[in-house]
Structure 1
């Protein structure tokens, strides 16, 4: 008789967890409140336009490929992707533009030519980023921080001697000010704080690990769009015998004598040997774990930023735009002050435009483009979002018109909006925060929930709201860490 595992939530970590546990011989069932898998990593189709609804940047594709290999499958037969020549196209109001070429030397030369920043500064910064990754990734990304063995293994002992060089005692902005001379380049590298919803003027410089992923390893694009990450892994899970229950929210995790024994749904009780929570940790404790001891310190931590996204079907082709595009704010510090301190949206926000039809032409009608247009915004604290969204839309359009020298509004024939309120209602993310707790202090990594419960036996956690953090690669790694804990425990 196979041991049974129940997973709550089919975000990308929940799907990965279902695959890993099925490979380990578990009978796995997944309960999802929505009618579709993927959580934030879903899609939207409107009048001939297809949009990847959530995460749009793909790094560390080996984490996806590993799941197919574990199941004895050839990844190339199920999931195809390409490496980008240009990771991102950057624009400023004064007409300056930069293409972040995947070839580091070409990018370094472009920075020197257009900004006058010595090319050596780029190469040195990316070497430092690789150094941080080499020392911290094995410790913080691939292991549980909540097990004693993590801190006594040889890799950890080696890293202790390098703490001063890993950015723990500085902020991202201060480190970038020391690395670069030109304010535009400092701003460009400060942007990486937004990859986990943080503030570069507060978050530790250890987050300068992120450029290594994008430049030294590479940025990629799934040939069928980001949603194919979800669907290819979902199909893999199904082929392994995993059962998915959609429109089936869990009402309670059942706990008896300090042990998770199953879940309660509208269909009744279902028993299991282990329970895995892929739901946002904060909302899980408020709802399905409301009867259990609450980890107040973790629940009360400040949340990451959220997003305001306009899905625009644009009936014109803009050859200047690439897959990933950034139109920078004129005052980055003021923008983050509004997001994290004032709980509002700055009048001159940095605008991110993702256009998958650049690589996947059938995502938009001929001669048109699908614009995923996003700005970083505060999480939901009860603001007047309708008023804020209306003002932000005007400011975003004005900025786009100035930089691209166009009149965009008449070209928009399709529009959908996603804001912090709907992010929370659709994905159960507390306050609509995209990455759970924020990383705006040097202890943030230690203030994420573990991949297991210290109070309830046989209860495990995965997903962007727990260790090691948010985003596709870290969510996939959370499922890996969690599964390793299950195996070592049982």
Structure 2
């Protein structure tokens, strides 16, 4: 008799989990409160402008390919992508600009030319990043941290001997200050803390693992946009027989005698052999698992930062801009103090500008651009967001005007705004935090929820709020780790 699995949420991890379980022979049904799949990895259409709504940086594409290959499919028949020649462009108020070329020798020469930093500094920093990745990725990214055999296998034993070299006992900023001499380069490498919603002045230097993904392996762009990651995997899942129920928000997980038996949606009970939660872990325990034992320590953990995004259709082309662009704050420590200590938005925020029309022409009309304009902000703690958003918009426009020597406001044809409140309402992310619990302490990696429930049999977890963390590659790996625990 075919076993049945019910998945709560169709974020990218939920879709990947559905595919992996279908390959194992399960009859899979997915319940999604929204009318569309993908969670944060969705899209927005404003007139003639198309925007990828959420994650905009694509690394480790092999994790997407692996899902197709597992199903016996040729990835290129579903999903195509290109490697970027320039991973990001950086701008400062004093007129300094820097191109982070994918070619490391060229990037090192750019840094030496623009900042006077020795080329060797870049190569040494990226060698250290690769060392951290090669030491920890097989252990922490591909295995459960909550199983005994993870800590006793040979990979773990090797990692124990390298602990002092993996950055666990210093902060990212401290490590980068030792590595580089120029403040702008320290700031550039400190930025990688924001990739999981953390503070570089508090998060461990272990997170210097991230530049390895972007530089040593590479940054990529899907030819049809980031949303195509969702669309291609969704198509595959349907081909494998996965059944989706959109507009059906799950009301509770049905638990009998400590065993997950199914879910309730729209007042109707659905039973299965196992249940997978792809909903944010914190909100899941507050709602659909509110009658069950609560992991109080995990629920009390500080949350990651959130985002304020302005989707702007801009009626002008800026040839000096590329796919990924950063306009740095002149006071990075104060910006993070506002985000994590004061719960406010600094008046001089670092601006991330993602423009997919530079690589996908039909995302904007001819001679125009689609600006995904984002700043890091605190998660929702009841602030006066309407006032904060209005002030932030003015500050963002003034900053872009100064650096680009233009009048941005007069160029905006269409606009939509996403803030921590709407992030929470659309994706069930607790407090609108983008990455679940923050990583602002050395034990953060161990303070993520396991990919299974320790108190409820047949209940599993995947997604950015559980192990191994947020971001597309880690969400896909969470689905892999989780489904490998399930017997077919």
Aligned match of 2:26: 26
Q: For residues 366-405 of structure 1, what are the structure 2 equivalents within 5 Å? A: 366-405=366-405
Aligned match of 2:162: 162
Asked if 1:141 is matched to 2:141, the reply is: yes
Please give the secondary structure, in 2, of the residue aligned with 1:251: strand
Asked if 1:452 is matched to 2:452, the reply is: yes
Query: 1: distance between equivalents of 2:144 and 2:477?
Result: 10
Aligned match of 1:189: 189
Scaled by the length of structure 1, the TM-score of the pair is: 0.99
1:312-333 CA distance string (max 9 Å, x none)? 0000000000000000000000
Deviation at 1:394, TM superposition (A): 0.3
Deviation at 1:134, TM superposition (A): 0.3
Query: 2: distance between equivalents of 1:140 and 1:173?
Result: 22
Query: 1: distance between equivalents of 2:198 and 2:65?
Result: 29
Query: 2: distance between equivalents of 1:433 and 1:229?
Result: 22
Deviation at 1:222, TM superposition (A): 0.1
Unaligned runs of 5+ in 1: none
Asked if 1:340 is matched to 2:361, the reply is: no
Deviation at 1:354, TM superposition (A): 0.1
Deviation at 1:267, TM superposition (A): 4.9
Aligned match of 2:268: 268
Deviation at 1:266, TM superposition (A): 1.1
Aligned match of 1:436: 436
Aligned match of 1:328: 328
1:413-435 CA distance string (max 9 Å, x none)? 00000000000000000000000
Aligned match of 1:237: 237
Aligned match of 2:350: 350
Q: For residues 390-429 of structure 1, what are the structure 2 equivalents within 5 Å? A: 390-429=390-429
Deviation at 1:439, TM superposition (A): 0.1
Deviation at 1:485, TM superposition (A): 1.1
Query: 2: distance between equivalents of 1:400 and 1:486?
Result: 50
Query: 2: distance between equivalents of 1:166 and 1:307?
Result: 29
Query: 2: distance between equivalents of 1:77 and 1:7?
Result: 26
Query: 2: distance between equivalents of 1:85 and 1:179?
Result: 25
1:256-292 CA distance string (max 9 Å, x none)? 1110010011151111000000000000000000000
Aligned match of 2:101: 101
Asked if 1:62 is matched to 2:99, the reply is: no
1:112-150 CA distance string (max 9 Å, x none)? 011000000000000000000000001110000000000
Q: For residues 457-468 of structure 1, what are the structure 2 equivalents within 5 Å? A: 457-468=457-468
Aligned match of 1:12: 12
Aligned match of 2:248: 248
Query: 2: distance between equivalents of 1:486 and 1:445?
Result: 23
Please give the secondary structure, in 2, of the residue aligned with 1:367: coil
Unaligned runs of 5+ in 2: none
Query: 2: distance between equivalents of 1:454 and 1:93?
Result: 51
1:435-471 CA distance string (max 9 Å, x none)? 0000000000111000000000000000000000000
Scaled by the length of structure 2, the TM-score of the pair is: 1.00
Query: 1: distance between equivalents of 2:53 and 2:399?
Result: 23
Query: 2: distance between equivalents of 1:32 and 1:319?
Result: 40
Aligned match of 1:176: 176
Aligned match of 1:279: 279
Query: 2: distance between equivalents of 1:287 and 1:219?
Result: 37
Aligned match of 2:209: 209
Please give the secondary structure, in 1, of the residue aligned with 2:250: coil
1:13-47 CA distance string (max 9 Å, x none)? 00000000000000000000000000000000011
Deviation at 1:486, TM superposition (A): 1.2
Query: 2: distance between equivalents of 1:225 and 1:173?
Result: 33
Following superposition, which runs of at least 4 residues in structure 1 exceed 2 angstroms of deviation? none
